[in-house]
């Protein structure tokens, strides 16, 4: 009998073991077409298991087309039917549309050299996890679960968790943002916020103006949506107003995308005066602007600077995307869009067609954590920690790197423009061979052209790594300089 060779183990459900056993026997030719299987009663008695288990196995085998049954007669081996089907081999990589192609071609995880153990990587701008106050986070979790656990685990609303929306309304008011018709939508981080806006308000071929260089992920997303990206240069005060105005006149863009505070990758903080000039230009030309509130909280030295949105009053052309999760719990993926309520109303529908809503547990825990006062303590601690590393990194750059300009006054990275025309893409290849990684400037260029700039992220590196890594970069640079 077929089951005499079956020894049951403890690790797999018994019905599965029976299925596998019979399937193998059929495939191996041990059971041939139309041969009768043991009755469920026989099998259960031989294997000392319940009849139901055998029944389940037989039913599964039947639904998989391996056996068939005739009422009152029993179960029989069917021909292996799988062989009837053609093997289908879709060439998935050839089916990708232009959106998907750009997402893949500009995916730096795929295109940039990979970190390997023992290397020194200046690539990342992720925060240092040791600084996170896990205990306070746990407390916040237990508090909200005790209060409304069942509710948080069930479906929520696309717009977001009410407590978090109210908290952020207040938080934005603290940044000087007022006006009666503004509203907030909670998103899965900055990235979803931008995706919602681009997917709703753009058409392929539209022009979008941004700072040059700019945030790589934004660049990738704009290009994936088929937008024509036009970069405008910056100085230490931020984007150049005359150039911005000239570009708007020339290209009549549908959008401008700006990161006024702590711009990525340069770290430039747009001055108050420049903000007012830029805002004036946007207003004169009635040009909508996506304002990226990137890491505003992590400035070391500047006083609290108002976002562009604080200048709007009752105007509605600025859409602000915020994300505290860049420095605080990026693993949670929480962000928000603040905009005119008519705009939020539409984006809420789009969100419902993309991700339904953002995790309600995460939202509730997050706001509870924020309200506990832990955030202020964290920012204080983080600023001190990163400032020290920042100053050390600057010192080491001055020691080893022949730079033209050193940008940035805060955050988790420094942007360097070398004082020689060295292709930093090539430089990276050389440094990689010596175990050092950084972000070459070309990935931040709207034109994608080669640059002699690079971004150095330092948040998670030890001092000795920073020093050693910069020394190697410096050495490789000097090899490229023909005296």
Q: Which is nearer to a copy of itself, 222 or 436 (CB)?
A: 222
**Three-point CA angle 176, 179, 181, nearest 5°:** 140
Distances 314 to 197, 271, 308, 318, 366 between C-alpha atoms, Å: 21, 23, 13, 11, 30
Q: Which is nearer to a copy of itself, 308 or 431 (CB)?
A: 308
Minimum distance from residue 369 beta carbon to a copy of itself (Å): 10
Minimum distance from residue 151 beta carbon to a copy of itself (Å): 6
Minimum distance from residue 433 beta carbon to a copy of itself (Å): 26
Going by C-alpha positions, the residue among 304, 318, 338 that lies closest to residue 190 is 338
Q: Which is nearer to a copy of itself, 164 or 305 (CB)?
A: 305
Minimum distance from residue 33 beta carbon to a copy of itself (Å): 17
Q: Which is nearer to a copy of itself, 304 or 377 (CB)?
A: 304
Going by C-alpha positions, the residue among 456, 468, 346, 480 that lies closest to residue 390 is 456
Q: Which is nearer to a copy of itself, 292 or 476 (CB)?
A: 292
Minimum distance from residue 476 beta carbon to a copy of itself (Å): 28
* Stated length of the chain: 483
Helix (H, G, I), strand (E, B) or coil at 66: coil
Q: Which is nearer to a copy of itself, 445 or 476 (CB)?
A: 445
Q: Is 19 exposed, middle or buried (0-12, 13-18, 19+ CB in 10 A)?
A: buried
Minimum distance from residue 225 beta carbon to a copy of itself (Å): 10
Q: Which is nearer to a copy of itself, 9 or 203 (CB)?
A: 203
**Cβ atoms of residues 253 and 232 within 8 Å:** no
Minimum distance from residue 35 beta carbon to a copy of itself (Å): 20
Minimum distance from residue 154 beta carbon to a copy of itself (Å): 4
DSSP label at 231?
Answer: E
Q: Strands, DSSP E only, in 189-313?
A: 207-211, 228-232, 234-235, 238-239, 255-258, 289-292
**Cβ atoms of residues 395 and 407 within 8 Å:** no
Distance of CA 394 to the CA centre of its chain: 28
Task: Determine the straight-line distance between the first and last CA of the chain, rounded to whole angstroms.
Answer: 87
Sign of CA dihedral 424, 425, 430, 433: positive
**Cβ atoms of residues 215 and 252 within 8 Å:** no
Q: Which is nearer to a copy of itself, 152 or 229 (CB)?
A: 152
Assign residue 212 a region: left if phi > 0, alpha if psi is -120 to 50, beta otherwise? beta
DSSP 423-473: -HHHHHHHHHHTTEE-EEGGGG-TT----SEEEEE-TT--HHHHHHHHHHH
Q: Which is nearer to a copy of itself, 88 or 482 (CB)?
A: 88
Going by C-alpha positions, the residue among 195, 163, 183, 145 that lies closest to residue 333 is 195
Minimum distance from residue 176 beta carbon to a copy of itself (Å): 7
């Amino acid at each position: 009998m077929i089951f005499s060779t079956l020894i049951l183990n403890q690790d797999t459900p018994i019905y599965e073991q029976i299925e596998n056993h019979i399937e193998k026997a059929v495939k191996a030719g041990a059971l041939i077409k139309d041969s009768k299987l043991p009755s469920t009663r026989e099998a259960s008695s031989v294997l000392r298991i319940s009849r139901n288990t055998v029944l389940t196995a037989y039913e599964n085998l039947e639904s998989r087309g391996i056996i068939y049954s005739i009422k009152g007669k029993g179960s029989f081996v069917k021909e292996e039917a799988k062989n009837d089907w053609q093997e289908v081999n879709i060439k998935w990589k050839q089916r990708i549309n232009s959106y998907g192609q750009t997402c893949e071609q500009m995916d730096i995880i795929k295109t940039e050299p990979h970190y390997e153990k023992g290397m020194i990587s200046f690539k990342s701008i992720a925060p240092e996890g040791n600084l996170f106050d896990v205990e306070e986070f746990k407390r916040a979790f237990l508090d909200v679960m005790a209060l409304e656990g069942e509710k948080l685990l069930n479906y929520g609303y696309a717009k977001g968790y009410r407590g978090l929306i109210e908290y952020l309304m207040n938080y934005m008011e603290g940044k000087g943002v007022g006006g009666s018709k503004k509203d907030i939508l909670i998103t899965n981080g900055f990235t979803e916020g931008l995706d919602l806006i681009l997917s709703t308000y753009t058409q392929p071929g539209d022009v979008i103006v941004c700072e040059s260089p700019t945030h790589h992920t934004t660049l990738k997303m704009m290009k994936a949506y088929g937008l024509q990206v036009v970069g405008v240069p910056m100085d230490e005060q931020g984007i150049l107003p005359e150039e911005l105005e000239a570009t708007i006149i020339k290209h009549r863009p549908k959008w401008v995308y700006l990161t006024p505070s702590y711009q990525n990758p340069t770290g430039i903080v747009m001055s108050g005066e420049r903000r007012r000039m830029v805002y004036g230009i946007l207003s004169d030309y009635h040009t909508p602007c996506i304002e990226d509130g990137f890491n505003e909280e992590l400035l070391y030295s500047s006083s609290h600077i108002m976002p562009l949105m604080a200048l709007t009053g009752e105007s509605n052309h600025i859409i602000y995307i915020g994300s505290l999760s860049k420095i605080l719990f990026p693993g949670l993926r929480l962000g928000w869009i603040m905009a005119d309520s008519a705009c939020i109303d539409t984006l809420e529908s789009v969100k419902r067609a993309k991700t339904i809503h953002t995790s309600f547990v995460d939202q509730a825990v997050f706001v509870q954590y924020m309200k506990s006062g832990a955030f202020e303590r964290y920012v204080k601690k983080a600023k001190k920690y990163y400032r020290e590393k920042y100053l050390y990194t600057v010192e080491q750059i001055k020691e080893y790197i022949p730079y033209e300009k050193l940008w940035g006054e805060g955050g988790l990275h420094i942007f360097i423009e070398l004082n020689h025309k060295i292709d930093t893409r090539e430089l990276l290849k050389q440094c990689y061979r010596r175990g050092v990684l950084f972000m070459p400037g070309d990935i931040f260029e709207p034109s994608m052209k080669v640059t002699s700039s690079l971004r150095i992220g330092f948040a998670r590196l030890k001092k000795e790594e920073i020093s050693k890594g910069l020394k190697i970069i410096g050495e490789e640079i000097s090899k490229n300089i023909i005296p």
